[in-house]
Structure 1
Amino acid sequence: MVRYLIGHGDYMIGLHAYIVGYLVDMIGRYTLMVGHREDMVGRHSFMIGRSLSIKKGPSLYRIAPYY
């Protein structure tokens, strides 16, 4: 009976560790989602910057020869 209780205690500790691990995993996934969102914002701003530089680029090249 005592051995069963010890075994049950180990099982409860294992279950607790599993729940904590699961919560950490959920937090990790959430931060990954947030990070991915920030990454998307970064890429979006990079694309905007790139499109602006492409739009500005030809006009600068057009002006340059006259100087």
Structure 2
Amino acid sequence: LDLVRKRRQYERFGIPEYWFVDLDADRVDVYRQADGRYGPPWVLGHDDVVHAATVDGLVVASATS
């Protein structure tokens, strides 16, 4: 649902950045719009850091166990 319907809705309404947290897969997929469409996700795994494109100064680092 989130990766299909909601992603399409967010894309249509111009939401510039969409993060999908998949706890089962232990990852975060970050989608960013280019030319009105989301490109392939940037996949955040262990030891990765991502800077939010839409919130200045927001940096998210994955937790390692």
Give the number of the structure whose residues are more often strand, by fraction: 2
**TM-score, with length taken from structure 2:** 0.19
**TM-score, with length taken from structure 1:** 0.18
Q: Which has the higher contact order (CA 8 A, sep 6+)?
A: 2
Give the number of the structure whose residues are more often helix, by fraction: 1
